[in-house]
Structures are given as structure tokens and as C-alpha cells.
Chain A
Amino acid sequence: MALRELASLEKYLGLKKPNKYSTQGDKKVPVLQNNNAPPLVGLVTIACHLVKEAKRSELLGCGAEARAVVQQWLEYRVTKLDGHAKEDIKTILKDLNLYLQDKVYLAGNQFTLADVLMYYGIHSIILDLAVQEKEQYMNVTRWFDHIQHHPGVRHHLPPVAVLRNRLYTSRHH
């Protein structure tokens, strides 16, 4: 899963030569194999590295404060979103919904790596929401729809119809 995410991110960043990856342990933590440096371990670490490699550091936030906000959500992705318990889903959505109330992107008005990785991480949750729930978490839905249509981001994931019908979650279509 994480590897597919990284492959999609590479495509988004327009990195020409693909990197070599492997995984580590039961949780399949991604490992970036580097020829002339020790391997890098961890989704966020690798993603940040790729962004710098692509010379797109604006995606990590401009200025120390914005960088902190981006890092905050990247950390949230790997600590709270990954491995969430089922009963946490509502809390996650509720909190994010409130947070996104007055924001276009996670870091305010700028699209960043936080949006990409949070989008990848939350995709399966959104996929399973009924329309009523999508309405309930309107800000999350709006942000999600926005990101999935951001050019070049979606790649390995199926698009989620934000409003379709009232009976099923999108997974079963």
C-alpha cells in the first residue's frame, strides 16, 4: 500500500528515474534503497526526501510555521490515521471536519504534501461512507474531492463519487 502511494507520489512529482523500494516488518514499512547513502525508512521520511529530490520544497510548506503545520499532519497520518481502530473513525472525521471548516488545504491556502498523504491515507475511510455521512462531514468531503481532482494526485486510487445515491457506500458499486 505504502509503496503504491510512493509510486504515485513519484509520478506526481515528475521524478524521472524511479527509486528502488522494499518493505520492512509485519507492517510493511517502506524502505528506500539508496545507492550512495544508507536506506531511508518510513513513509513520511521518504516522501519528504522525494519532495526535496524533486526540488519542490514548497510542498513541505513555506516558512517554519507552515512547515510545522505540514509536518503535524504528516505525523497525524502515520500515527493516528494508519492503524486506526474502527471506533476512532468518527472522531477522526469529526476533528478533521472542524479543522477544515475555514481552510482550503490542510496547511491553509497552499497545497502541500500533507494533503497528498492524508488523501491517500483517508481514502478507504471515505470510500465506505454513506452519502449521509459524507454530508455530515461536508468539509472533509469537499477537501477530499478537491484533492482527488488535483492534477496528478489520484493515480493508484479509484475516484470516490462524492454524491451518488442514498443507499450504498461507494465501495459496493
Chain B
Amino acid sequence: MMELFVSEGNPHCLKVLAALEVTGVQCGVHFINHEEKVVPFLSRPALPALLLPSKQHIFSSNTICRYLFELNGPESSDQCNQWLEWEATVLQPALLRALHMAVLQGKGSEVSKVLQSPLNVLDQSLGKGNMSYLTGKDVSVADIVLWGALHPVLFNSSLALSDHKFVKAWFDRVAAMSGCQSAAQKVLQGKGLEAMKSYMQRQPAPQSRDTQPCNSSPVESEEGERVVSEEEMEAAALTWRKDINACSQTTEKQHPIMPKEGMRNVLITSALPYVNNVPHLGNIIGCVLSADVFSRYGRLRGWNVLFVCGTDEYGTATENKAREEGLTPKQICDKYHAVHSSIYRWFQIDFDFFGRTTTEKQTEIAQDIFWRLQKNGFLVEDTVEQLRCENCQRFLADRFVEGICPHCSYPEARGDQCDKCGRLINAVELREPQCKVCKQTPVIRSSKHLFLDLPKLETQLEQWLEKSTSSGDWTANAKQITRSWLRDGLKPRCITRDLQWGTPVPHPDFKEKVFYVWFDAPIGYLSITANYTSDWEKWWKNPHQVELYNFMAKDNVPFHSVVFPCSLLGAQDNYTLVNHLVATEYLNYEDTKFSKSRGVGVFGDMAKDTGIPSDVWRFYLLYVRPEGQDSAFSWADMALKNNSELLNNLGNFINRAGMFVTKFFGGCVPEMELQQEDKKLLAVVGWELQQYIQLMDKVKIRDALKHILNISRHGNQYIQVNEPWKKIKGGESERRRAGTVTGVSVNISCLLSVMLLPYMPAVSQTIRDQLNAPQSCINTMLLGPGSFVCALRAGHRIGTVSPLFQKLEADQIEALKKRFGGQQITASSQQPAVVPAPPAVAEVKTGVGADPEKAKQLAKAVAEQGDKVRALKSQKAEKDVIAAEVSKLLDLKKQLALAEGKSPEPAAQKGKKK
């Protein structure tokens, strides 16, 4: 015996009940709730469901109907099958939308519009054969299924079928069958549409348009395709024809860059990295790299940009480091300033000036601000209780104390700030303080200090903040951190410290003291600019002409939004205050924190030793930029993004476009005759470009990058669909088509090179070199709302095209992950003797042959040999010539692996695999 499970108000049940009545098959019928689960393996309730005698479940209405008909009759015909498939794949999605409107939204009047197209199909088919039923002169399962599907929308005459007279005649004919009438009564209970309300409410809302099937390429359809209007296409085609040279030409940077009347003058700072720390990837993305991308972008937008940064050099940490290394603080700073410079140079951070805080100008400007604050009555004197470590014989600077946060009880709060709750701390307020150096408990001593009277400046600060945060682009975290600071109420903040290595306090009563680093350091922005140009005040005392962007990680926010602005407001000298405060969240390393001491993570100086190009590093760091939330650096993900986005998406597109020009058109851009499809692509690309500009203007660097990658995805699809490599072999019109597709594609590459410039400056330039693109295109496309113009006109000769990116192999990445996973320092540490236990042997063994110097040379040799092999291959050289060079390459790679302390096996395995 079979059992059929149905529910009231479910239109699909109409079909099966009608089929049951019409065929007369014996079957138990159970009316159950919509949500009841009948089919054991389906997560979502599916009704109707038929339990076969063999205990198998059939859970879709058309198959059930068909089965019921086949039990007593012949197998259903091709025609019948075709109608059933059409019903399930074409009619149902439209019906779902129609019922959604009619039942849930009360928009019954719009139903006919939604159903217009399928009803036309049905009407034409019924009219053509002049048949009574869908497949001939007899009723078939197709009639019952389609009737059941259409009954809810057609049975009351509110939907006029005057345009579809064949459908009307057919529908009335089927509806007149007693089986259908009784099924309709059972399911809808004479309540009409109202009966389906509870069923419809449980259905997922239909898409406004047909969803794109995403199974062909899920990566590509991450975001649904936009619908492009005719107007957009025409506008895009018009832009495309604009003359590139008609647009204004900006000239090369000329130092010193000064604010100019009538231009958008943008002053960009990146938080000053502390000199004696080698910056890790999190530091780099948080400030200098983000600021670099934005300033490069600003220049492309035609703004007058000055980007300054430098090392923050004063403070106890430097003093200590000097003591450790037996150097003077000055020597330490010189040494590490050079380290920083070289790291940023490698990362292609294009500072207009990279200075330092230990300069004459710093003293001059800091003391000037100090005297102004003093004169204006914003400094107060007080005796301070300070922590002194008797064991180390000195007052403990804030960062040399650790203890329990008095606010949130975080056990590892620092003397100046709690990493957990973000609040600033006065070191003596720490519970259970400890000297970080000797772990002894420090004692409290009194000493006279100067305070910046923040409470007195609070009203002014709030007025300014109100204006700045509402008119400028402050990131959400910057606003929130600042708000929480003000909410707690401001307290006077000490600006002096008992140290030697710092800017001396000029006041005679405080001769032995220096300025506290957080009073002093932000002044570094001014003094560094002053070292760049003696006219620095045109930037820093010119709020009406200059817009100031500060880039930093979120832990730096309070100093930039509260403390430093208060210093400048109190000094009353018309300073330029921050307009846009851009703070990132934290970047983690493989789900843990970067840690110099544990050797976990990648530090700036090591990135280049990985052999991965600087541009790829930049790309990935920007791709995972902690924008809005914390993010993590992961080796596996980096390889994935390199291989999928750079190599397969972006690089593949640009390379294909260029290769087509080279191979099919003798290196000259072919004539382009735009058809609708091309214009549509231009419109889509133009839209992505506009999104990119809107996001970049708001410093959404990570989000904007996605739109670049979208463009090359569109481009790849365009090439794939149009197959120029096939069309080029066809007739005249096909060849012309191949030309258009190639020409449009290569122009998209040109646009991509410009959009990429802020992110990957070297690759960007390489693309333009390969395309032999005019430099003027850089200054055209990102102006105003953005315009995708045809920069490479027909006849333009391009340069030599070659691949832009290399695959990151799994074994290579595994090796890097191991190398940077932790303890990499111990491999080269000075105590190799202390390696006793057997389990460590394997590690030690791999470390034994390691020779960084040799590795560097070998890496270079491998790269050169690789180029050689590729060149030979592209020139189609003799097989054995190539083979000989390849074996040389493999040998070099093996040596490199040894020199890097890796076992060479993985490489060998890889060889086997291929």
C-alpha cells in the first residue's frame, strides 16, 4: 500500500490529489501540517511526499503525478516529459513570484505581468496544434500538472486571460474534470488565495529576477550580475570614445610639494613606527602601507598630496636597547632608522619624506608648543607619585611596568595603556605592578611634573570633534574609541618624564626632565615636515587649505583624536587638525598574535627573503586589511589568493588580452566596432570603476580592491564567451569580431593597470610597459567620477607581453609556514650546543645546512635560470636544449633548499607528481 502525504493550502498538493482522482490509483491520503517532516533524509519539509510500497520516498509533485499515471498507463511521452520539465524549471519560478505578490503582498494586479511570458508559450503551443490537451486529444499527466500549478492564479477571473484564449479554453476544459474540482476543494477549501497564506509564508522569498545558476563557476558569481540599462551602455560607449589627451595632464612630483590654491591639498601621515622594533606585517598594513596606497591614489585623483612619516626615536626603550648593545641611543637610532627605511623601500612605500623625531626641528617645535600651552594656562604643576624600581635604580617608564588593569582587571596591562579595554592608565594605578626588566615590585616615589590640563580643553575639543567627525571620514572604531574616552571624562595628563633620551623640557624648574613620548611623538609629524621644507607651516598652520589624514592602528587613536588635538588647540596657533582619522583593527598571524619574542610571524625584514615579490605581499596584505574587523594573515590563504586571484584571474586576463594582440594582430591593437555586448561590458566595467572610486575616496582600501578583481573577472568571461582565438580563424566578420573583443580586452588591461597602481605599483608599471601604454592614461581614468576611455586606439603597437605572476606552490608555502611559525630565531641563535633531546634532532638537522647568504645568491640564480628556461620555452627552442637547462634549474633549486635548511625532498616529489 502506498501513502500520500499532503497539506492544505499547498498548491503542489493540488496536482497530486488531482492525479490520484483522475487515475483512480488506490492510495492512503494523509493531511498533515506544512512543517511536518515526512522524508527522513531531507532537512527541509517537503510536501507532497509519496511513500512507495518499497518504502522509498518520492518528494516532488511532478514525479509523483507521473508515477501515478504510469501505474495504470503507458510511460509518459517525450512531449509529456518536456511539459513537466518546463513546468518545474520555467513556470514554477514565475508562479512562486506571482503567488508571493498576490498572497503575501496583496499585489494581485501585477500577477499577469509576471506570468505573461510563460502563458505566451503555453498559448502558442496550444494554438499551434489546435489540440484539446497539451499533448494531443487526450488528457495526460502534463495537463493535470499544469492545471494544478495554474489553478491558484487562474481559477478566479481576476486575472484576465483575454490575451490567451487557447490557454483559457484548455484550462476550463481540464478544470471541469470532477477529479480536479474535488482536489481543488480539498486543498483550497473554497477559500481561494487566502488558503495558501500560511504555506506561502513558509516559502523563501523569491528573487526579484531569476537567480543566475552559480554552479558553472561559483567563484565568478559571488556577486550577482548587475542589470545594465540601455542608457548606461550608451553613456559608457560615449566615455569610451573620449579623447585621452583632452584630459588635464598632471606633471611629475616636484619637491618640495606645497599647498596650492584651488587644489585639494591633502596631507597624509602614517603613525610613526617606534625605532627599535622591526615592524611586522600588522604594523605595515596598519599604517605605512595603507597610507601609501591612499596617497598614491590621491595623486591619481589629481589631488596635491604630501605623505610624511618617520621613526619615533625618543624614549626609554631606546635607552635600554642602547645599553644592551653597548651603543649610544643616537647610534641605535641611526642603525634602526636605516633598517626601517630599507624595509619600507622594499615594500615600495612612496613617502615624500621619511624623517625622524630626534632632530633640532623637533626640539624647536615641541618647545614652542610647550611655551604656548604654558602661556595660555593649559599646563598645571603637580607632584606625582611614580614607580621606581630600587633594584634597577631608576624610575620606571610606563612601558617598563606591567600589572593588573585597574579598570577591567586584565592581568597584562602596560603602564600607559591596557591592551584589553583600551583605556589609558597612570602607571601607579596598576594593581600588583612589576618591573618588566627584573620582575621586582617597584616602589612609589614623589616627583614634580607638568600636566596638560585636558579638562580645561574639553569643551573646545568636543566642539572640534563634532565638526571633524561629522564632515570627515573617521573610521567607526576611531569614533567609538574617542567617544568612550570623552564619556569617561578627561583628566590632566602628565607630559614630562624623568629620562635623558628625549626632547628636553625648556622650563628651568624641570631641567632634568624630558617630554613624555606621547606629547612629543605626534609633534614629530610637524618637525619631520619642517625637515622636509622650511615652509612647513603652510601645511601645518593652514586648516583652511589643507585636509589632514592620519593613518594608524586602533591602539593609537586616543593620542591622535584627544591628546594631540588638545595640545594643538591649547597652543592656539591655527594648527591644521586631523580631518580624517583612519584606524585599522588588528592583523593576526595564522590566528595567533605576531610575536617578536616567540619568533612568530613575518617581520618586515624577512618578507623579502621569502622570494615572494613585494607587490604580491602588498596585494595580500591589502586584501586582508583589517578594515572594520580583525583579520588574519595566513600562508595558505596567501597562496590561494595569489594563485586564484592574481594568477588565474587578474594575470590570466591581462596576459590573454596582450597575447591575442601579439599573436593575432601582429602586436597592433585591432579596429573595434562596438556591439551591444561590448557596450554592456563597458558599462559594467565603468560601474566597477565608479564603485572603486567611491570606496577609495572613503579610504575603504580593501573593499575597493575587490572591484578591480571583479573587472578582470568580467573580462575573462567576456573572452571566454566570445572565443577570439576561434573567431580569428573564421570569415571576415568573425575576424572583425575577434578584433573588437581583443581591442576591448587590452584596453581593460590598461584601465586595470591604473586602478592597480596604488596597490601594486611595480606590476602596474609592468603592465603599461607591456602594453606600451601612454603615461597620460594614468592621469585620465581616475579623475572625476572615473572614466573608462579607450586609451589604446586601433593601430597602437604594444610591447612584449609576458606573464605577470607566478604560482605559489604548496610545498613552498608549507616550508615558509614552518619557517615563520615560531622559533625561527633559535635556528640561527648563538647557542646551538644546547640541543640535547632526540625529538629535536629532525629540526636541528634541517637547520644545520642553513646558510642565509648562500641562500640569497642561490635564490637569485634560481630566478635567473627560471627566466632562461621560460624564455627558451617561449622561443620554442630544441627539446633537449630546454631539458638541459631545466635539469640545471632543478639542481639549483635543490641546492637552494639545502641552503635554506629545508630538506629537498618536497621538490623532488613535486617533480614526480607532474
> For the complex, what is the distance from the CA of A172 to the CA of B808, rounded to whole Å?
11
A69 touches B (CB below 8 Å): yes
Digitize A161-173: 1 where CB-to-B-CB distance is under 8 Å, 0 elsewhere.
Answer: 0000101100110
Q: Is the CB of A72 within 8 A of B60?
A: yes
Residues of B within 8 Å of A95, CB to CB, are 41-43
> For the complex, what is the distance from the CA of A42 to the CA of B84, rounded to whole Å?
10
Digitize A22-61: 1 where CB-to-B-CB distance is under 8 Å, 0 elsewhere.
Answer: 0000110100000000101111110011000000000000
> For the complex, what is the distance from the CA of A91 to the CA of B70, rounded to whole Å?
31
Stretch of A10-18, A121-129, A145-153 with 4 or more beta carbons under 8 angstroms from chain B: A121-129
Q: Is the CB of B88 within 8 A of A69?
A: no
Q: Is the CB of A68 within 8 A of B62?
A: no
Q: Is the CB of A83 within 8 A of B85?
A: no
Q: How many residues of A contact B (CB 8 A)?
A: 45
> For the complex, what is the distance from the CA of A91 to the CA of B46, rounded to whole Å?
13
Residues of A within 8 Å of B62, CB to CB, are 75
> For the complex, what is the distance from the CA of A141 to the CA of B123, rounded to whole Å?
44
Q: How many residues of B contact A (CB 8 A)?
A: 48
Residues of A within 8 Å of B213, CB to CB, are 27, 82-84
Q: Is the CB of B214 within 8 A of A85?
A: yes
- Which residue from chain B places its CB closest to the CB of A67 in the assembled complex? B70
Residues of B within 8 Å of A71, CB to CB, are 63, 66-67
Q: Is the CB of A172 within 8 A of B644?
A: yes
Minimum distance in angstroms from B50 CB to a CB of chain A: 8
> For the complex, what is the distance from the CA of A16 to the CA of B666, rounded to whole Å?
42
Q: Is the CB of B214 within 8 A of A84?
A: yes
Residues of B within 8 Å of A69, CB to CB, are 52, 56, 58
Digitize B294-335: 1 where CB-to-A-CB distance is under 8 Å, 0 elsewhere.
Answer: 000000000000000000000000000000000000000000
- Cβ contact of A42, chosen from B52, B63, B89, cutoff 8 A: B89
> For the complex, what is the distance from the CA of A68 to the CA of B69, rounded to whole Å?
11
Question: Taking A65-B56, A68-B66, A83-B212 as contacts, is the C-beta distance between A42 and B86 under 8 angstroms?
Answer: yes
Question: Taking A42-B85, A72-B63, A172-B644 as contacts, is the C-beta distance between A48 and B78 under 8 angstroms?
Answer: yes
Minimum distance in angstroms from B429 CB to a CB of chain A: 47
- Cβ contact of B52, chosen from A68, A82, A84, A172, cutoff 8 A: A68
Question: Taking A42-B82, A75-B60 as contacts, is the C-beta distance between A64 and B210 under 8 angstroms?
Answer: no
Digitize B681-705: 1 where CB-to-A-CB distance is under 8 Å, 0 elsewhere.
Answer: 0000000000000000000000000
Stretch of B215-223, B259-267, B597-605 with 4 or more beta carbons under 8 angstroms from chain A: B215-223
Q: Is the CB of A86 within 8 A of B63?
A: no
Q: Is the CB of B81 within 8 A of A45?
A: yes
Q: Is the CB of B218 within 8 A of A165?
A: no
Q: Is the CB of A78 within 8 A of B82?
A: no
Residues of A within 8 Å of B32, CB to CB, are none
Q: Is the CB of A79 within 8 A of B89?
A: yes
Residues of A within 8 Å of B66, CB to CB, are 68, 71
Minimum distance in angstroms from B820 CB to a CB of chain A: 16
Question: Taking A65-B54, A65-B56, A79-B60 as contacts, is the C-beta distance between A99 and B41 under 8 angstroms?
Answer: yes
- Which residue from chain A places its CB closest to the CB of B204 in the assembled complex? A85
Residues of B within 8 Å of A75, CB to CB, are 60, 62-63, 84-85, 88
Question: Taking A65-B52, A81-B215 as contacts, is the C-beta distance between A72 and B59 under 8 angstroms?
Answer: yes
> For the complex, what is the distance from the CA of A25 to the CA of B899, rounded to whole Å?
60
A1 touches B (CB below 8 Å): yes
Q: Is the CB of B217 within 8 A of A48?
A: no
> For the complex, what is the distance from the CA of A136 to the CA of B88, rounded to whole Å?
31
B208 touches A (CB below 8 Å): no
B92 touches A (CB below 8 Å): yes
> For the complex, what is the distance from the CA of A133 to the CA of B211, rounded to whole Å?
25
B640 touches A (CB below 8 Å): yes
Residues of B within 8 Å of A165, CB to CB, are 810
Minimum distance in angstroms from B206 CB to a CB of chain A: 11
B53 touches A (CB below 8 Å): yes
Can you add 6 more A-B contacts, CB < 8 Å, to A1-B216, A26-B210, A125-B218?
A: A38-B79, A41-B82, A72-B59, A82-B89, A85-B214, A86-B218
Which residues of A are in contact with B by a Cβ distance under 8 Å? Answer: 1, 26-27, 29, 38, 40-45, 48-49, 64-65, 67-69, 71-72, 75-76, 78-79, 81-86, 91, 94-95, 98-99, 101, 121, 124-125, 128, 165, 167-168, 171-172
Q: List 20 A-B contacts (CB under 8 A).
A: A27-B210, A41-B82, A42-B81, A42-B89, A48-B81, A64-B67, A65-B53, A65-B67, A67-B67, A75-B63, A78-B88, A79-B89, A82-B215, A83-B215, A84-B213, A84-B215, A86-B214, A94-B43, A128-B218, A168-B640
Give the 4 A-B residue pairs with the shortest CB-CB distance, closest first. Answer: A42-B85, A98-B41, A68-B67, A83-B213
Which residues of B are in contact with A by a Cβ distance under 8 Å? Answer: 40-44, 52-54, 56, 58-60, 62-64, 66-67, 70-71, 75, 78-79, 81-82, 84-86, 88-89, 92, 210-219, 636, 639-640, 643-644, 648, 810, 813
